[in-house]
Amino acid sequence: MMIRNLEKKDAAAAALLIVQLTKNIVEPEKLAGRIEALVDASNCQWLVAELGGQVAGFGGLTWYAIPSKGLIAWVDELIVDEKFRRQGIAKLLMQELLAIARQNNIRQVKLTSTGGPASSLYESLGFIKKDQEYFIKK
């Protein structure tokens, strides 16, 4: 198993993984193109886990600067293919994303959790659940 940077050739396989994470995909016909664009973006790093030549997992870190802290980042769309779960792949992806955060002097990493297994994973990596109210506008 290998963790490596996302490449444009991974777009179709990564798109299939995202369908396992959410059914709520805006303009699904643009999904693969949006994944390809992440390869060239300068404020993020997206990783894949490759196992036996297949894309088994996917996830990314996106950063920006705020006045009080400097660089902060979000982890988004962490997914492991159902066929490959409980083998430590998500943990390895997260550890690598956190290493990238350290290398880039990012002061805080945030994420939202789907609960259950994902929350156990994040807690095992030292993430703390905050009670702050979370708002979203679509």
Ligand X SMILES: CC(C)(COP(=O)(O)OP(=O)(O)OC[C@H]1O[C@@H](n2cnc3c(N)ncnc32)[C@H](O)[C@@H]1OP(=O)(O)O)[C@@H](O)C(=O)NCCC(=O)NCCS
Select the residue interacting with ligand X from 18, 25, 51, 121 (CB under 6 A).
121
87 binds ligand X (CB under 6 A): yes
Select the residue interacting with ligand X from 43, 95, 104, 120 (CB under 6 A).
120
Do residues 61 and 96 touch, judged by C-beta distance below 8 A?
no
Do residues 63 and 30 touch, judged by C-beta distance below 8 A?
no
Residues 20-39: x where in contact with ligand X by CB under 6 A, - otherwise, as a string: -x------------------
CA geometry: angle at 130 spanning 73 and 46, to 5°?
25
| Binding-site size, ligand X (CB under 6 A) | 18
86 binds ligand X (CB under 6 A): yes
Q: Are strands 108-110 and 70-80 parallel, antiparallel or unpaired?
A: parallel
Candidates 4-12, 27-35, 78-86, 97-105: pick the segment binding ligand X (CB under 6 A): 78-86
CA geometry: angle at 127 spanning 123 and 128, to 5°?
95
